């Protein structure tokens, strides 16, 4: 019994493509978690910039300190 190498290569290429180009979907998906992580990084950097520009901590800026 022999297997056709082009068939297994095609299946691997489809799997790789699906993981490298995630599509938007509803729920707890890989794409959603990746986007949440990116937005969290942007928010964290924005918080650091806010603290550098104003000279106040985030808690002081909120009135909690």
Contact 30, 22 (CB under 8 A): yes
Determine, yes or no, domain membership for 17.
no
pLDDT at 53: 94
% of the chain surpassing 70 pLDDT: 66
The answer to the question of residue 14 being in a domain is: no
In a domain, 42, yes or no: yes
Residue span of the structural domain in which 53 resides: 28-65
- Residue pair 34/22 in contact (Cβ under 8 Å)? The answer is yes
pTM for this structure? 0.55
Copy the structure tokens of residue 47.
């918080």
Domain assignment present for 32: yes
Query: Is residue 7 assigned to a domain?
Result: no
The answer to which of 6-10, 29-33, 43-47 has the lowest mean pLDDT is 6-10
For residue 51, with 0-12 CB atoms within 10 Å meaning exposed, 13-18 middle and 19 or more buried, which class applies? middle
Q: Give dist(CA 39, CA 12) in Å, integer.
A: 31
What's the domain count of the chain?
1
């Amino acid at each position: 019994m022999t297997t056709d190498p082009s068939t297994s290569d095609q299946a691997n290429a489809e799997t790789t493509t699906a993981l490298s180009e995630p599509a938007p979907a509803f729920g707890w998906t890989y794409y959603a978690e990746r986007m949440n992580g990116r937005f969290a990084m942007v928010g964290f950097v924005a918080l650091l910039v806010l603290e550098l520009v104003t000279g106040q901590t985030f808690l002081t800026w909120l009135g909690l300190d």
